[in-house]
Structure formats: C-alpha cells, structure tokens
Structure 1
Amino acid sequence: MADSSKDELIQIIKRFGAYLTVKMSNFFSVFHNLDSRSVGAIAGLAVAIIFTWRLLRSPNAMDRRQPKRLGTRASSSGTNSQANTTSASPGVSSCLEDSQAQIVVDDFFQPVKPTLGQIVRQKLCEGRKVTCRLVGVILEESSPEELLKQATVRSSVLEVLLEITKYCDLYLMERVLNDESEKRVLLALEDAGIFTSGGLIKDKVLFCSTENGRASFVRQLEPDWHIDTNPEIISQLARFIKYLLQISPSRPERTVSNVFSARSLEEFFGCM
C-alpha cells in the first residue's frame, strides 16, 4: 500500500508539472510589471501551499490514510462488485488525479486584477515626470474666472493623483487672475491632503497669468506627460512633449499619435 500511494503521489506531481508548464506563460504576462525574482518567489510559495493543501484534503488522500475494512459476512455479489471496482480503479484514479491537478493549476492562475499603482505606471509608460493643469482636471472649477470665488478639489481624482505622486515627479499649474485665487487654490489642495502624502510640495504648484505662460512652464520642465484641457495648448506642445493627455467631455478624435484623450483623469486610468 505504501508503494502504491507513493506512485500515485508521483503521478499527480508529474501531471501538475505538465499543467504548470502550459499556464506559466500567461502567468508571467499578467505580472510583467513585477521583478522576475519576486514573481518566482511568490509563484513557488503559492504553488507549494495550494498544491499541498489540495492534496491533503482530497478524498483519495483521506481514503489512503484511513482504509476501509470489509465485513466477514459480505455476500458473494458484494465480493464480485468489489473486484470489478478494484479492476477499474487505476483508470478512474488516473482521471481523478488529472482533474485534481488541473483544478489546482486553474485556481492558481486565475486572472489577477492589477493595483491602481500598476495601472498608473503602465498607462504612463513608466514616465517619471508629469505636468498637469488644475482647472477642469484636479479642480471642479472650469475656468480661472471661477477661481475668483472658490476652488474645490474633485474628490474622485484624489486616489489617482496620490498614486501618480508616488511614482512621478508631479507639477501642477494654472492661470490665475489675482493673488487671492492663487491662495484659494493652495488652501483647497492642502485641505484635500495632497501635500501630506510626501510626493507633492507647494513649490511644485505653479501659477501664471496667461495660457502661453503655462505652455512655457511645460516646455521648461520637459515632462514625459502633460495633462491639459486646452486643445490649443495640447496642439502647441505635441511637437515637444513625448505624451499628452487632453481632458475633454467630448472625447475628441485622436489625430496625433502621442496625444490621448479622456473625459476625466479617473477615466483614463480606468477608475470609473
């Protein structure tokens, strides 16, 4: 019995290895953003835990640990039935082992939803510097004139914005009509907790008096990405900036390969 159990265990491991080979390519495509050594360590540990747990809980393993004994008064028909079952057991056992190994592999290789941080890095093509307009993107207000009365940070954009600050050197900028508007914007950003994450400081919030001034800021900073709502600014910068994202409710048709569009920053990163 010990030799038979050992052989069955070896066969399960072999079949598991075969399924593992088939699934491995899909697994690495899901985790292409992770370090290869980290992926290998996580995969090895998880496979070992799941496979051992499934093997110990399988009905075959329980039957091998607790073999049943036949009663001495079994009828001749019962004996014949047992003989037939025993003669068919190798094929049935092999099928069950194949099924168990496949279930383990399929469960382990279920698609894993990427984190928001992974999505941000992937969408930004690993860009390390980002410039972004405030009005219409980070703020509820849609024009500098509205900033004369109030400045309100959009709550739905906060999570994305904070993730960007973790991986990128982020600069926020806006055209304002007076000093009070500038102070109002800084206070709104501070109240929203944007400066407490450690990735953004007040010195990286820039203000100017004209739209061309904002374009000039972007040219000087030379970011990998610039995010804006003004199509003229986007058009001017398309020749100089690697990637641009235009935020517009109408989702304009894409005419330049390095210019993308979305109705909001959250939509671009799949948060809506």
Structure 2
Amino acid sequence: MDDYLKDDDFSQLIKRIGSFVSAKLSELLNTQDLPSIWSLGVLVAALIFTCRLLWAPSGPQRRQRKVQTSTPPNSGVNNSQPNANNLPSRIEDSTPTVINESLQHVKPTLGQIIRQRLTDGRKVTCRLLGIILEESTPEELQNQATVRYSVLEILLEMTKLCDLYLMETVLDDESEKRVLTALENAGVFTSGGLVKDKVLFCSTDIGRTSFVRQLEPDWHIDSNHEINFQLARFIKCQLHISPIETERIASNVFSSSSLEQFFGV
C-alpha cells in the first residue's frame, strides 16, 4: 500500500514538472534563447534523476525486510543453536545395545543347559547300564563296572541341580558292589550331591519300573524300550537312550543316542 502511494505521488510530481517545463519552454522558444533552453533541459533531467533516487527504496532495505518478516515474533532464540530435544537418542542407547549384543554371544554353562533341557525338573531317575556305565548288560557287571568319563561332568552337574536317583538290575551282590565302587572312584559321592542310598538295585526290570513309579520323578532316563513304554502314562517326561534311531514311543518320551548328545556336550 505504501509503495502504491509513493508511485502516485511521484507521478503527480512528474506532471507538475512537465507543466512547468512546457510553460518555460514556450517562453524561451518565443525569445529564441538557446543557452537558456539547454540549461532548462539539464535542470529538468537532474530533477527527475534526483527524485527517482530519493523515491525508490533501496535493494538491501527490501531484502532486509523480507528476512525480518521470516523470523518468528518474540522468539529471542538463536536458531543456529541446536535444540536439545532434537538430539538423537543413539548416544544414550548405544551402550545397552553393545552390552546386549555381547551377552547374546556368551556361551551358556552346562548347568544352564541341563536346567533348560530338563525344563527345571527337580527329581530325576536314571538307569546306569548303557547310560552312566560303559557296560550294557547285567552279565557284564559280574566282571566289571566302568563309569563313562564322557558323561561324568553331566552326572556331577545333575547331582547339584536335581534330586537324582540311579538304579540298575543286577544278578548278584558282587555286581552291586562293583557299581558302587566305580561310582565312588569317579568322585560321584564326594563332588556332587549324590549319596549311596540313592543308588537303587533290583533283580528284575519290573522291580526298576516299580522304583520309578514310587519315586514319581519329573524325568526318567532309560535305555529299555519296554520300560519307557510302560511308564509313559505315569511319568511326566522321559528320555529314551538308544544308539539306534527308533520310532517315538509317546509324545512325552524323547529320544537320543546318548546323554551327552541330548545335552549337547
């Protein structure tokens, strides 16, 4: 609006100067005074040029006005300074992320693996032959009893985490003594929580089945297919140990070639 009024005033001034120049020019032409005519023309040009300079706004002022109008009123804040709320949170989150990633690569302990595989089962019963011992038949125990040292670490850890009972079918008292001596020499009774009273012996497989049902464990580990089948209705979970892959006995009976393989050792 101000620019429009200024342009109108400038037009009126030009008209007045034109009228004045016309009147003077007529007088000078009548007198034929050429120097005066030339002087009048120079004067008029100088007046027009001066008015134009005074009337027109300068370029820097106009640009400055645009910059000022783009600044929010009453801000009083230097926009060049970063806002703390807009800072990325990656600086704060980087340390926990690194820690979490490093923890994911930490290998679990054997105790953690056993607890996970047994689903925190507290009471476990386990046969000796073919699982804890190298021998696989009661007849072999009449000559010797040998603890499998590849399973010894698992056995010792299980005695710490579980209420463990070991059991076996033997043909004579001498076989029973050999088994207890082999377990004692391996350090099972001194390093873990197992005691001799938790090593049970019977003369038939039916007697071993009766032991398991009376103890009511969370897990029973056996290598006899028939016993695992009979106990499937009564025991929560079972592990069938067999070097030969067989059909699954029941949904709650798992199979593995060895105790070491089941726990990933």
Normalising by the smaller structure, the TM-score range is 0.5 to 0.7
User: How do 1:205-244 and structure 2 match up within 5 A?
Assistant: 205-244=199-238
TM-score by length of 1: 0.63
Q: 1:149 aligns with which of 143, 155, 159?
A: 143
Aligned to 1:193: 187
In the alignment, the residues of structure 2 paired with residue 263 and residue 110 of structure 1 have an alpha-carbon distance, to the nearest angstrom, of: 29
Amino acid corresponding to residue 261 of structure 2 in structure 1: E
Q: 2: CA distance between counterparts of 1:130 and 1:105?
A: 36
Which of 61, 68, 90 is residue 15 of structure 1 equivalent to?
Answer: 90
How many residue pairs get aligned? The number is 184
* Structure 1 residue 206, shift from structure 2 partner: 0.3
Q: For residues 119 and 101 of structure 2, what CA distance do their matches in structure 1 show?
A: 31
Q: 1:147 to 1:106 in 2, by over 3 A?
A: closer
- SS state of the match for residue 207, structure 1? strand
CA deviation after TM superposition for structure 1 residue 243, in Å:
0.4
Letter in 2 for 1:192: A
Find the residue that maps to 1:155 and give its secondary structure. coil
Do the aligned residues in 1 keep the contact of 2:132 with 2:148 (CA within 8 Å)? yes
1:26-64: per-residue Cα shift (whole Å, max 9, x none)? xxxxxxxxxxxxxxxxxxxxx5xxxxxxxxxxxxxxxxx
Alpha-carbon deviation of 1:114?
1.0
TM-score, length of structure 2 as denominator length: 0.65
Q: Retained in 1: the 8 A contact 2:225–2:240? A: yes
- Partner amino acid for 1:118? Q
Greater RCO, 1 or 2 (C-alpha within 8 Å, sep 6+): 1
Structure 2 partner of 1:136: 130
Counterparts of 1:62-211 in structure 2 under 5 Å?
104=98, 108-211=102-205
State the superposition RMSD in angstroms. Answer: 2.4
1:165 to 1:16, Cα distance in 2 relative to 1, 3 A: farther
- C-alpha distance in 1, partners of 2:99/2:184? 48
- Separation in structure 1 between the aligned mates of residue 127 and residue 242 of structure 2, nearest angstrom: 13
- Deviation of the 1:236 alpha carbon: 0.4
Alignment gaps of 5+ in structure 1: 1-6, 21-46, 48-101
